Each structure stands twice: as structure tokens, then as C-alpha cells.
Amino acid sequence: MNGWSWRPPWGRALSGTVGAAALLAGARLGGPRNRLLWACALLPDAALLYGIASAPTFDPLPPYAVRPYNVLHSPGVPLILFGAARALRLPELNVAACGWLAHIAVDRAFGYGPRAADGSRL
């Protein structure tokens, strides 16, 4: 999970650019008020709701919520959605993938990457 570098300034700038581009692409494909786009842009944080016991800071995240958080914030999820969109010829899945990718990229632009096993930020 450490393949996406978000710590250096160039990594954050690249992540912000990817996030903005994904959001714009999703809005162009599905429309700016597309519910699927915005739902998928928020869905990765469902893991934070699962770890609500650590609110309001979510740092560290409870250990039981780390795996769901890391899975939902993995670039593999939007890649799977893009692949499924192509294989199944469902353009709506491209919109979902754009929203999901935008969320992950914007998180990384602000310095939120995968979590360590104890719930702390890496």
C-alpha cells in the first residue's frame, strides 16, 4: 500500500491533481449532481463510521477498523470498478470509480494515507 507517495510536496500536488481530475471526469460522465458520483466520493469513509469509537479525531483509528479503512482507501477499488465498467459495459461504474478515486486522491493530498495495524497514520 505504500506505492502511492503522498508525503513529499510533489506527491501531495500530484494527488490533488488526480483527485480534481477524477472528480471532473466523473461530473462530465454522470453530471455534476449525479448521486452515484457523490455517494462513491463519500463511501470510503464508511470505515471511519465503523471506527466511530475514536471520534472526533479518528487518530488513532481503532485496530478493528484499520483493515476496512485500508481496503476502502486502496486505489485497487476504483481500478476494479473501472475494469468492471469495461467488462460489463456499464458506464455508471466509471462514474462510481471516478468518485471513489477522487476521494482517495484528495485524502492523500491532505496527508491521509493507509493506517498502521495499531490505527496510527503511517
pLDDT digit string (tens) for 51-85? 887 777 778 889 999 999 999 999 999 999 999 99
Q: Which residue has the higher pLDDT, 58 or 111?
A: 111
For residues 121 and 115, the answer to whether their CB atoms sit within 8 Å is yes
The whole-number average pLDDT for the span 33-53 is 93
82-111 in b/e burial notation, b at 16+ Cβ within 10 A?
beebeeeeeeebbbbbbbbbbbbbbbbbee
pLDDT range class, residue 3, cuts 50, 70, 90: low
Rounded Cα gap, residues 1 and 8, in angstroms: 16
The reported pTM is 0.91
Secondary structure in 3-state letters for 97-111:
HHHHHHHHHHHHHCC
Residue 91's φ and ψ, nearest 5 degrees, are: -60, -25
For residues 61 and 121, the answer to whether their CB atoms sit within 8 Å is no
The whole-number average pLDDT for the span 99-109 is 96
